[in-house]
Structure 1
Amino acid sequence: MPDPSAAAVFTDLAQESRELDSLVGDVPGPDWARGTPAPGWTIAHQIAHLHWTDRAALLSLTDADGFAAMAEAALKAPDTFVDEGAQEGARWAPAELLARWRAGRAALGEALAAASPDTRFPWYGPPMKAASMASARLMETWAHGQDVADALGVHRTPTARLRHVARIGVRARDYAHAVRGLPAPSEEFRLELTAPGGAGEWAYGPADAPQRITGPALDFCLLVTRRAHRADLALTATGPDADRWLDIAQAFAGPPGAGRTPRTSR
């Protein structure tokens, strides 16, 4: 599939954020302390983490020195800085946290739209162009939104915005192997994913590739964000390399974490 335009990515990020906002905006204050599937993380932690990362992205786009200082602090505590950032915001009153998240993501949206489209901005991994940064923010917003939805017992209707999450998951195939010390497959895979609502197919890789993945795009996105266990998803692998990938796939940088436990047995 061709890369979506930068403007479309920025619009989709704003829409994804608004959808999560509509989910938490009316949550009573005490319920912000409700636990989510992420161990030790409440709804407040989830939103605080998104705010923290939006702030980091804004610094990357607008204040290289400020981002460098933030990244240096993270390198001093590589195993804890994510939790510490979430914990800081989770201490705020829910109304304050919500207001800060809204203001921060609005500022980030303006900075993304104003950024030079060909410039690569610093990040905790490889530098990224503004469109790629927006895609990554959308992926994380959707994934942490899933944690919030699960905590609230809410079913979210999947949208075409998942194409950004799926694309990152496909592109991160080799990274998922590297982070586990495994050799990456030498050949491309073919993925044929059913778009949300049955609205067509999202295909990646050579049509004649022997290593193949098929199934719903939603299930693939849940897998690569590690928001569901493979055993609970309708994904089919053809070929040993594709089968192994479904066990280790992840769309985000850093350690894979424990992931979700299966609700069903294989």
Structure 2
Amino acid sequence: MPDATAVTAAVLDDLRAEGDELDLLVAGLSAHEWAVPTPAEGWTVAHQIAHLNWTDEVALTAATEPGAFAAEVEKALAAPGTFVGEAAEEAVTALPPEALLVEWREGRTRLQAALRAAPAGVKLPWYGPPMSVASMATARLMETWAHGQDVADALGVTRKPTARLRHVARIGVRARDYAYFVRGLRPPAEQFRVELLAEDGGSTVYGPEDAAQRITGPLLDFCLLVTRRAHRDDLAVEAVGPDAGQWLDIAQAFAGPAGSGRRPEADR
């Protein structure tokens, strides 16, 4: 079994690489390009980076000031259906692009340092169950990749898939039952087999080999599906079995409401 410390360090390395890749995409943008609308309604490129900055700061608070983070959770519980970080995000979004970029870079650096310094085996508080450092880093990577996809789509850029997508897929699979719970549905009792093929020919597999219900398709397409960055109709992800088919309609790798998701390309 791999050493837990080495696994955590590897995930943190991947988180840093994911942030650096998105940084390269936005670093040379003009002020006009920072204001380009993204597929997320009402969000510009600047909004996407400001949101990542805010969530990085909240994760940092969870790692270094659990009492202060608990107060943030209380705010969220006291105002269900609202986004407690909206004012903070808007303030950062209003910064000049170069200042916003500095804020985001410095926040990523602080979060990396805090997560690497966290004691082995520690559980960090979060809006759901407490998470290990590796799980927190994986969640931050997933969100960075997903919002980076919004930015890339807004700019008309096609990103090359990387091996880091396996982290996104893993969260999507592990969050299967959550996708049902958040919609008031009962999850299926049986496990699914998920078989995903990366562009380099490697495979990522989850679930029992003899499972009756199965999901197959490209790793990238599955990640776009579970982050709700593309509609199922536009992806080559296939389901065998009615429950597996239903899951593809509701799958999400992130906490909170699913939102409306993306419309099929044929309807745009």
TM-score when scaled to structure 1? 0.95
Specify the alignment match of 1:117 in structure 2: 120
Q: d(CA) in 1 for partners of 2:232 and 2:86?
A: 26
Q: Distance in 2 between matches of 1:57 and 1:80?
A: 16
> Which residue does the alignment assign to 1:40?
42
Partners in 2 of 1:199 and 1:85 — Cα distance? 43
The residue aligned with 2:219 is: 217
Q: CA deviation at 1:68?
A: 1.8
Alignment of 1:82-101 (within 5 A): 82-101=85-104
Cα distance in 2, alignment partners of residues 83 and 239 from structure 1: 40
1:130-141 mapped onto 2 (5 Å cutoff): 130-141=133-144
Structure 2 matches for 1:1-266, cutoff 5 A?
Answer: 5-78=7-80, 79-195=82-198, 197-264=199-266
CA distance in 2, matches of 1:68, 1:35: 34
Q: Secondary structure at the match of 2:205?
A: strand
- C-alpha separation in 1, matches of 2:189 and 2:266: 32
Q: Is the 8 A contact 1:49 1:85 kept in 2?
A: no
Q: Which amino acid aligns with 2:251?
A: A
CA–CA distance in structure 1, aligned partners of residues 79 and 48 of structure 2: 20
- Output the CA distance in 2 between the equivalents of 1:137 and 1:84: 21
In structure 2, runs of 5+ residues without a counterpart are: none
Distance 1:251 1:84 in 2: 25
1:219–1:234 Cα contact (<8 Å) kept: yes
Corresponding letter in the other structure for 1:111? A
CA contact (8 A) 1:13 1:137 kept: yes
Superposition deviation, residue 82 in structure 1: 4.7
2:266 alignment partner AA: T
Separation in structure 2 between the aligned mates of residue 72 and residue 171 of structure 1, nearest angstrom: 26
Q: Which residue identity is paired with 1:32? A: W
Whole-angstrom CA distance in 1 between matches of 2:155 and 2:87:
24
Measure, in 2, the Cα distance between the counterparts of 1:239 and 1:219: 19
Cα 1:223/1:82, change in 2 over 3 Å: farther
Structure 1 stretches of 5 or more lacking a match? none
Task: Give the conservation status (yes or no) of the 8 Å contact 1:231–1:264.
Answer: no
Q: Secondary structure at the match of 1:198?
A: coil
Q: Structure 2 CA distance, aligned partners of 1:223 and 1:15?
A: 22
- Secondary structure in 2 matching 1:124: coil
1:229-249 per-residue CA deviation (whole Å, 9 max, x = no partner) reads: 000000110000000000000
Deviation larger for 223-232 or 72-81: 72-81
Aligned partner of 2:205: which letter? Answer: A
CA distance in 2, matches of 1:175, 1:117: 27
**CA 1:47–1:222: 2 relative to 1, 3 Å:** same
Shift of 1:69: 2.2
Letter in 1 for 2:51: H
How big is each residue's C-alpha offset from its partner over 1:108-164, in whole Å with a ceiling of 9 and x where there is no partner? Answer: 001111112311111111111111000000000000000000010000000000000
User: Partner letter of residue 115 of structure 1?
Assistant: A
Looking at structure 1, the residues matched to 230 and 66 of structure 2 have their Cα atoms a distance apart, in angstroms, of 36
Measure, in 2, the Cα distance between the counterparts of 1:133 and 1:263: 33
